Amino acid sequence: AHRGMSDMGEMRQLPPDTVIISSNENPLGPAQSALSAICSTASLGGRYHSEETMKTVMAFNEIYGLKRGYSALFPGSGGPLDLALMSNIGPDKPLVYGDPSYEQGPRAAETMNAPKFPVKLTSTYAHDVKAMLAATPTAGAYYIVNPNNPTGTMTPREDILWLLKNKPKGSVVIVDEAYHHFSDHESVIDQVAADQDLIVMRTFSKIYGMAGLRAGFAVARPDLLMKFTSVAPPARTLASISITSAAGARASLQDKDLVPLRKKINADIRSETLEFLTKKGYKVLPGSQANFFMVDVNRPGHDFHDAMMKENVAIGRSWAAMPNYVRVTVGTKAEMQKFQTAFVKCMDTPPG
């Protein structure tokens, strides 16, 4: 059986020295600023302290110029992503999404019995917004992952603005910016402040290194956030984050050095790795601006994944649209050295 289920749901019983570059996590973990905030907040944990959440929401709103009520804090972004998707799709409200892209979109459509319209990415692996609009006249939601998972590639901001302008009335655009901070592109959060039919997802699991601590934001007009309660009771949608995660998230947001430093570390190790692979003659999917990339392994990706596991390197999964490619997360320099050695060894072993 293939181990990697999803980016959050992987079952891990791996040898302790395994290089884990399978789930787009950050090998650096939480920043020192976040750890200090988490430690000093933990002793207050005997009380509910909803003001910890409020303070983090206010800090986020201030950074992004959002009015009160335009953002909500959750334990991670996967939960609210489901709510954003599910509250806008249904049997007569299809979901339109990129292919290949993050599987949570089509999975939510299956849960809601909503028709699915996967749309092939463009030749530069951007979401093809024109084809997405043409896919169906009755779309409930358009799901755009930017940078896209698994390709790491960008959809230009102008394309998202074009879709917002031309999409059918009553539909929403959901832009998943889980990997935004690794890229050089401008966010579309400003379009939420401009009252567009737009929901932007942000997470603390990636550049902020808090995947296991769980924090994420849904950013949208208050009426779109309120609609989340149509698919989940308010108790699940409100104030469910722990005070330690809220404090760690706030400290991360206020740490001015964190994003530029980690963005550079990731970009440097990613380009070193891609340069190595390219020089060796392997085919890398170009254009990644994220903390992962795809590489052609010339055989079914899951076979290659299993071969790499035998070398104690856990790489990411494959997508049906690109079955001979695997996704690889950017680890530390030392981890990527081990990856390179194992990769060459496995590629030198003929498939089958």
Interface with ligand PLP (CB under 6 A): 7-8, 24, 76-78, 81, 102, 145, 149, 176, 178, 203, 205, 211, 216
Q: Which is nearer to ligand PLP, 175 or 295 (CB)?
A: 175
Kindly state the helix (H) or strand (E) to which residue 216 belongs, with its residue range: strand 216-220
Q: Which is nearer to ligand PLP, 307 or 330 (CB)?
A: 330
Residue 274 one-letter amino acid = L
With beta carbons less than 8 A apart as the criterion, state whether 323 and 300 touch.
yes
Q: For the CB of residue 246, give the shortest distance to ligand PLP in the complex, in Å.
A: 15
Q: For the CB of residue 288, give the shortest distance to ligand PLP in the complex, in Å.
A: 13
Computed on alpha carbons and rounded to an integer, the radius of gyration of the chain in Å comes to: 20
Q: What is the dihedral of CA 51, 55, 57, 62, to 10 degrees?
A: 150
Q: For the CB of residue 316, give the shortest distance to ligand PLP in the complex, in Å.
A: 10
Q: Which is nearer to ligand PLP, 78 or 140 (CB)?
A: 78
Q: In angstroms, rounded to a whole number, what is the distance separating the alpha carbons of residues 257 and 237?
A: 31
Q: For the CB of residue 307, give the shortest distance to ligand PLP in the complex, in Å.
A: 24
Q: Which is nearer to ligand PLP, 77 or 288 (CB)?
A: 77
Q: For the CB of residue 212, give the shortest distance to ligand PLP in the complex, in Å.
A: 9
Q: For the CB of residue 79, give the shortest distance to ligand PLP in the complex, in Å.
A: 7
Which residues, including other chains, have CB under 8 Å from residue 123's CB and lie 6 or more apart? Answer: none
Report the residue number whose CB is nearest to ligand PLP.
Answer: 7
Burial of 251 (0-12, 13-18, 19+ CB in 10 A): buried
Tracing tokens 């790489």 back to the chain, one arrives at: 315
Report DSSP letters for 57-93, one per residue.
HHHHHHHHTPPTTSEEEESSSHHHHHHHHHTT-BTTB
Q: Which is nearer to ligand PLP, 22 or 299 (CB)?
A: 22
Tracing tokens 């933990």 back to the chain, one arrives at: 42
Q: Which is nearer to ligand PLP, 7 or 159 (CB)?
A: 7
